[in-house]
Every structure is written in C-alpha cells, then in structure tokens.
Amino acid sequence: MELSHRITGLTGGGGDGWGLFYKARAMIEAGEPVVELTIGEHDIRTDPVILAAMDASARAGNTGYAEVPGNARLRKTVAARIQARTGVPTGPRNILITPGGQAALFAAHAAVCDAGDRALYCDPYYATYPGTIRGVGAVPVAIPTRPRDAFQPTRQALGARAEGARSLLINTPNNPTGVVYSRETLDAIADTCRDADLWLISDEVYDTQVWEGRHLSPRALPGMAERTLVIGSMSKSHAMTGSRIGWIAGPPEVIDHLITLATHTTYGVPGYIQDAAAFALEQGEELERRVGEPFRRRRDLARAILARQNTLGLVPAGGAMYLMLDVRPTGMTGEAFADALLEREHIAVMPGESFGRAAAGHVRVAMTIDDDTFADALSRLVRFAQDNAHAA
C-alpha cells in the first residue's frame, strides 16, 4: 500500500529547512553547550496572570467540548481588538477561533484554493508556507523578493505571477526578515489582488511587534475587506506559543464555511484556553508591550553592535523577533556560514536558505535569549564573520 501523494509531497521532495536546528538540538542533548538563536520562542513564559485565568476556567469545569467557532466572549474580544486597530467594522461573525496560527493558515487556503490552483507566497517565507499550500492540494508559486528592496515584493514581481492564480499569502511584520511592509508595498499588493481577482491571506501574527513605522492591515485598504482573510495568534503577542490558539478574520460567508471545515477537522479549541486568551486580550496593550519589549531592546543592542563593523549587512529590522544578516562578504552561503558558526562557536542561527532562494547568503538570528547572552553571542558572530571575510 502507498501513502497519498499529498502527504508524502508536503516538502516538495526536499528537506523541511530545519536541518541545522535539529543538529543544534542533538549537540545539546549530547551535553555540548550551544547558544540557540534559531526559533521564534520567547525566553519568557506565559504570564502567570494568564495561567491563573486558564486554571480558574478549567477548575470551574470548562473542560468539555467547546463551541467549534469559538466561544462568544473570545470572538467578540478578538473582533473588537481588530476593529479598534484597523478601523474596519468587525464583529463576532467575522471571526473563527483556531488551534493556533498554523491551523488558521491551512484552513484559509482550504477555503479559497481547489486542487491544482496556483497559490502565491513571497520568498523568503516562513518555512511551513509551501507545505501548507501543498497540503490543500494547491500549487505553491513563489514571488521572489530582493535584498536591495529590503525583501519587499515589488509591483512588477507581483504582477508577473498573478494571472491565473487564486490566492496570495503575505506576512508583515515579516518572518524571517523582520521587515515591515511599507504602504507603497501594501498598495501594490492590494492593486494586484483586485486586478487579478485574488484572495489575500494576510499573516499578521507579529502585529504587536513593530519597532519602526506602524502596522497596516491590508484588510483596511479600499476594496480589500471582502477578499482578505487575516491570520492572528496569541503565540507571539502574549507568549502563548504552547497554548495553540489563533483566529481567522474574514467575510462572514467565508467564516461560515470555515466553521464547517473546523467541525470536520479540529473540532474547536479547549474552552479554558479560550477563556485565558480572552482574559489576556482584555488586559490591553500594556501586557502586549511587556511581551514585545525585550525584542525591541535587543534589536537596538544588535544595531549598536553591528554599527561597529562593516562586514555583515543588516536587513532593515522594523518588527518581529528576528534579524536577517547578509553574510555574503564572508564568501560563504548562509548554510555554510551557519554550519561553521555552530561547529566552531557553538552558536546556532538559521540559514537564509531555510526560508527560500531569495534569502540565500543570509542567516536569520532569533532575538530570543537574555540581553547579555544575546549581545555576547552576536559579538562573537561578528568576529567570526570578520575572520572569515579576511580569509576570503
């Protein structure tokens, strides 16, 4: 017997891009000290006040089946948050609660793509994007971006691939680059979607982590609310990565169908986790600021360290918890640089190639360890790059 081509082909016949991460973890398990700057996992845990709300809900008996669309309190709270931040009228019928942002990405593509449809996404990309698209039977098509454009998609690149496609997936603030898309970029994206009749899937899980400029949801642009599905999550904004809770915001008629899909797949999110998420959101922006502040602070630390050298280039890091560094002056690929850095310095970063072709020759640095250790590790990374640049 054979497995389905859909499941065996999720990675497109290649690896999943996480080989160096697995290598670093194996070294740690063998007792070797490794400084991990790899994944987007906060170095703080979920705030105790959120855990207390979760515990109280569970102990009150909210451990049975929850409403599949999400409970009324959380859907109302998420809708109010989105409306306040974007100005777009949003109510509970615009919201489906999902088991994290990844489940939301899968469901959104299932809603708008049929088997064989072309689904666009921007390169570099979060590692799961192409596999998510393949998972619903669609064909992933990358829109290349360029370092000289700060990895923002251009109108020309978008237009060259839009004809005949069904959807476009974007992510701003961006993982892996830390770039916040400009108004000019978002206008080009909106124009492309309207002109080519595309659905837009907007991954906005880093919307509370903006260090320069401001986050603009493309759902707020003219004519976009009816063709945009926004992905949100508690993972990054409230350090609730393990709670697995997120949402999709979109037109009510789409949400109705997505509720049917959830009924046949995830069957909802535990009620006590939903209650904790609603409580967390009700605390307002101050809690979100506290969760995000370490990354703003470490971004500033990194800029000061990198300003004292001229070997590595820094992609404009306007948001999120990552830095993208250009290591091409060392003469190495991103993969070779990351592998050598791990072997010689025991510092683990992600090769740019893990996130697509456009980021080749770069590495992604997650700012997810305490300030002093982060500053020391980045300084050592810079010295390593300088030594290799001199050798080259």
Q: Is residue 350 part of a domain?
A: yes
Closest of 308, 309, 300 to residue 327, by C-alpha: 309
Instruction: Check whether residue 224 and residue 137 sit in a common domain.
Output: yes
Q: Any alpha helices (H) in the chain, and if so which ranges?
A: 5-8, 19-29, 48-59, 72-86, 101-112, 129-135, 155-162, 183-196, 252-264, 271-282, 285-306, 334-345, 371-391
As a whole number of angstroms, the distance between CA 388 and CA 133 comes to 38
Q: Is residue 182 part of a domain?
A: yes
In angstroms, what CA-CA distances link 139 with 103, 200, 248, 337, 370?
A: 18, 16, 22, 31, 40
Instruction: Check whether residue 344 and residue 382 sit in a common domain.
Output: yes
As a whole number of angstroms, the distance between CA 161 and CA 192 comes to 10
Q: What is the pLDDT of residues 94-153, one digit of tens each?
A: 999 999 999 999 999 999 999 999 999 999 999 999 999 999 999 999 999 999 999 999
- Mark which of 283, 303, 318 sits at the end of a domain: 283
Q: Which domain holds residue 333?
A: 5-45+286-391
Q: What is the pLDDT of residues 317-330, one digit of tens each?
A: 999 999 999 999 99
Structural Rg of the chain based on CA atoms: 21
Find the CATH number of the domain harbouring 197. Answer: 3.40.640.10
Are 138 and 116 in contact by the 8 Å Cβ rule? The answer is: yes
Q: Is residue 53 part of a domain?
A: no
Adjacent-strand bridge partners of 122: 143
Q: What is the pLDDT of residues 53-70, one digit of tens each?
A: 999 999 999 999 999 999
Instruction: Check whether residue 299 and residue 276 sit in a common domain.
Output: no
Find the CATH number of the domain harbouring 303. Answer: 3.90.1150.10
Confidence of residue 390 (pLDDT cuts 50, 70, 90): low
Once rounded to an integer, what is the mean pLDDT over residues 17-34? Answer: 92
pLDDT at 391: 63
As a whole number of angstroms, the distance between CA 71 and CA 60 comes to 16
As a whole number of angstroms, the distance between CA 181 and CA 216 comes to 8
Instruction: Check whether residue 164 and residue 83 sit in a common domain.
Output: yes
Confidence of residue 16 (pLDDT cuts 50, 70, 90): low
Running DSSP on this structure, what letter comes out for residue 310? S
Q: What is the pLDDT of residues 156-192, one digit of tens each?
A: 999 999 999 999 999 999 999 999 999 999 999 999 9
- Mark which of 283, 302, 328 sits at the end of a domain: 283
